[in-house]
């Protein structure tokens, strides 16, 4: 057990320790307060954010440019031969392609034996050529070959399919008849279409006077000069062209024909009369 004497001694020690700490605190100089760190200015933060975004955008743009350059280079060096549609025997075939050495010769052959011509590759290795097809070339599919030195310095052979076919026939024009006027005893010009190719075309005036016969040419077109009887009255008449039509049936085409006196030619040095 703690005696009263010990308790008094312990209490005295605590009091002396407290008094010593109080004196030390009184002698200590108060430390200056540390100035608070000012917050970063908002405009500096915004400027740094814009700078980071700009750097990121430049990096993305550089990547896109690199991809674009690679794509263009791949496209320019791509070898591909194409033929522009069918060609008839004795006609012309159009061929185009790429992949050849700049300025190099491109040789074209048909079915590996008939040489059709030579073209020259341009500054990008592209080429275009019009190639005459031999008239004896059979109808159907053939192989057209373009041979050149490639951009890598190696021999480049490009094949393509070429179809030799007869051209589609143009549709025949619709039936028509046109007649230009004439004076009595003069010549009228008539032209038209709609008759059978090679068939006869008979012309009559007013349904009774036969003026002549013509022959229908290609696609049933015809043209002829018809002598008008000198006793034909002035005025409007009907000219009729009769033939076998393209469908095999009888075709009758009427047209109006004007018979009029020719206008007198002016004398030398005389101006033609003005019509009111």
Q: What is the 3-state secondary structure (H, E, C) of 176-233?
A: EEEEECECCCCEEEEEEECECCCCEEEEEECCCEEEEEEECCHHHCEEEEEECCCCCC
Q: What is the DSSP letter of 168?
A: P
Encode pLDDT of 143-162 as tens digits: 999 999 998 999 999 999 99
Per-residue pLDDT for 259 more than 90?
yes
- With a cut of 60, say whether residue 42 has pLDDT above it: no
Cα distance between residue 76 and residue 100, in whole Å = 10
Domain assignment present for 5: no
What pLDDT does residue 15 have? 60
pLDDT > 90? residue 40: no
Does residue 134 sit in the same domain as residue 197? no
Read off the pLDDT band of 103 (50, 70, 90): very high
Q: Please indicate, yes or no, whether residues 158 and 96 belong to a single structural domain of this protein.
A: yes
Residue 3 belongs to some domain of the structure: no
Domain annotation covers residue 66: no
Has residue 71 been placed in a domain?
no
Residue 106 lies in a domain: yes
* CA angle, 150 then 152 then 156, to 5°: 30
In a domain, 40, yes or no: no
Domain stops at, among 102, 136, 164? 164
* Structure token digits, residue 259: 């018979």
Residues 156 and 182 in one domain: no
Higher pLDDT, 219 or 168: 219
Q: What is the pLDDT of residue 77?
A: 37
- pLDDT of amino acid 72: 30
Contacts of 233 (CB under 8 A, 6+ apart): 184, 259
Residue where one domain finishes, among candidates 133, 164, 195: 164
What digits encode the pLDDT tens for the residues 169-188? 777 789 999 999 999 999 99
pLDDT of residue 57: 62
Instruction: Examine the domain organization and report whether 235 and 186 are in the same domain.
Output: yes
The pLDDT of residue 5 is 46
Overall average pLDDT of the 31-36 stretch: 50
Residue-level pLDDT at 265: 67
What are the structure tokens assigned to 57, written together?
């955008």
Strand partners, 150: 100
Cβ(163)–Cβ(140) under 8 Å? yes
The residue out of 143, 164, 185 marking a domain boundary is 164
Residue 145: what pLDDT? Answer: 94
> What integer pLDDT is reported at residue 82 of this predicted model?
84
CA distance 43 to 46: 5
CATH of the domain at 216: 2.60.40.10
Q: What is the CATH number of the domain that holds 86?
A: 2.60.40.1930
Does 120 score more than 90 pLDDT? yes
Number of domains in the chain: 2
Instruction: Say if 63 falls within a structural domain.
Output: no
Higher pLDDT, 9 or 132: 132
Integer Rg of the chain from CA: 52
pLDDT in tens, 54-70: 666 666 555 554 443 33
Structure tokens at 42: 């908002």
pLDDT-based confidence at 216, cuts 50/70/90? very high
Q: For residues 156 and 148, is the Cβ–Cβ distance under 8 A? A: yes
Report the C-alpha gap between 244 and 195 in whole angstroms: 6
**Contact between residue 131 and residue 95 where contact means Cβ atoms under 8 Å apart:** yes
The reply to whether 41 falls in a domain is: no
> Contact at 8 Å (CB) between 79 and 99?
yes
* 82 vs 162: CA distance, rounded Å: 9
User: Residue 246 sits in which domain range?
Assistant: 176-259
């Amino acid at each position: 057990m703690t005696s009263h004497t010990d308790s008094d001694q312990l209490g005295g020690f605590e009091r002396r320790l407290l008094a010593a700490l109080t004196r030390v605190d009184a002698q200590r100089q108060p430390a200056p307060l540390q100035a608070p760190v000012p917050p970063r200015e908002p405009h500096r933060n915004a400027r740094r954010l814009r700078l980071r975004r700009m750097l990121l955008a430049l990096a993305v743009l550089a990547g896109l440019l690199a991809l674009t350059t690679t794509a263009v280079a791949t496209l320019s060096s791509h070898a591909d031969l194409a033929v522009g549609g069918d060609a008839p025997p004795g006609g012309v075939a159009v061929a185009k392609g790429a992949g050849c050495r700049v300025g190099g010769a491109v040789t074209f052959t048909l079915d590996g034996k008939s040489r059709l011509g030579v073209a020259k590759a341009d500054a990008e290795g592209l080429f275009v050529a019009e190639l005459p097809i031999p008239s004896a070339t059979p109808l159907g599919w053939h192989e057209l070959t373009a041979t050149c030195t490639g951009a890598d310095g190696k021999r480049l052979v490009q094949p393509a399919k070429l179809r030799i076919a007869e051209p589609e026939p143009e549709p025949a024009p619709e039936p028509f008849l046109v007649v230009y006027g004439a004076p009595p005893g003069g010549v009228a010009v008539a032209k038209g279409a709609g008759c059978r190719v090679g068939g006869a075309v008979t012309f009559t005036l007013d349904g009774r006077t036969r003026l002549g016969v013509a022959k229908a040419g290609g696609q049933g077109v015809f043209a002829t000069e018809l002598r008008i009887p000198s006793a034909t009255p002035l005025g409007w008449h009907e000219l009729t062209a009769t033939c076998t039509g393209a469908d095999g049936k009888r075709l009758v085409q009427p047209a109006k024909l004007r018979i009029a006196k020719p206008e007198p030619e002016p004398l030398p040095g005389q101006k033609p009369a003005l019509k009111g």
